[in-house]
Amino acid sequence: MSSPILDIHNLHKTYSNGFEALKGINLQITEGSFFGLLGPNGAGKSTLINSLVGLVKPTRGQIRIAGFDIEKNKTLALMNIGVVAQEILCDPFLSVYEMLSFQSGYYGLKNNDDWIEEILENLGLTEKIQTPCRLLSGGMKRRVMVALALVHKPPLIVLDEPTAGVDVQLRNQLWQFIEKLHQKGHTIVLTTHYLEEAQNLCSEIAIINHGEIVTAGTTDELLNAIEQNTVRFRLIRGNFPANLQSRVLRLEAQHYVLGFFNAQDLTYILNTLSANHCIVENLQTSRATLEDLFIKVTQQ
């Protein structure tokens, strides 16, 4: 079993005004995973991410990145993580290449041009290599922020709302490149308000609310755990089985809508209908979505 590349233990953060942003976060992210860290605005995501890179000092608790304690071995810990922040921060007078070259120097990297060129090509920045940042569009600046986070080839990549407000072309280009990095073994941590995006990309999910992890697990496990999967059909012959009555969520225009947990549970429902000589038509199934789960656990 792979070791955790990110290990967060009992992390607390209380600000000087008394606000408790993090309330004992425990989170382990396995090397090579594609992990979604989700939560509503104000849930504590930004405080947690800023703690990973030393911008926020936790009140107590421990963060280990690739085995390095962020407090005791900050330099080595930060060599193993790259964060694409929400804010666009770049020097308006430096060209794209100069920013990436200087960023390489900050990490003590020499002869990094081949990797810089690969990043630029994959992010559609090759034609902007000599363009000063102040002359770039908002979308191009967003691409530069991604490039800066990747310049030292970090094994752990944190994407904090990377596609917020960007066009479809950039979104597709970014995810193609990130997927390529993931296939090469990089661990990806994604925060996003596009829940469909997270459901499609992430194999594991944790949802944070009011400074606490309210649920975590594989995406399939979490979705199967809520009875939001539905099967909808019209009963055209036979009597609806009494032992399925508790599964009925609602009736819609002469159609029954039943909830089920997983494929085995759905099979049980269909077998029960068959055993009771029921004939149905217009049968449709709908799986629970991450939005269903998100709403359920953040409204509690």
> For the segment 41-96, what is each residue's pLDDT rounded down to a tens digit?
999 999 999 999 999 999 999 999 999 999 999 999 999 999 998 888 888 999 99
Q: Is the pLDDT of residue 198 over 60?
A: yes
Q: Is the pLDDT of residue 136 over 70?
A: yes
Residue 247 CB contacts under 8 Å (≥ 6 apart), including other chains: 258, 259, 260, 269
CA–chain centroid gap for 28, Å, is 14
In our burial notation (b when 16+ CB lie closer than 10 A, e otherwise), range 27-48 reads bebebbbbbbbbbbeebbbbbb
Q: What is the pLDDT of residue 164?
A: 76
SS3 assignment, position 33: coil
In whole angstroms, give the CA distance from residue 4 to residue 7: 6
> For the segment 250-294, what is each residue's pLDDT rounded down to a tens digit?
888 889 999 888 889 999 999 999 999 999 999 999 888 898 889
Q: What is the DSSP string of 164-227?
A: TT--HHHHHHHHHHHHHHHHTT-EEEEE-S-HHHHHHH-SEEEEEETTEEEEEEEHHHHHHTST
Reported as type and span, the H/E element at residue 136 is none
Cβ 47 vs Cβ 123: under 8 Å: no
Average pLDDT over the chain, rounded to an integer: 92
Write phi, then psi, for 293 (nearest 5 degrees): -65, -45
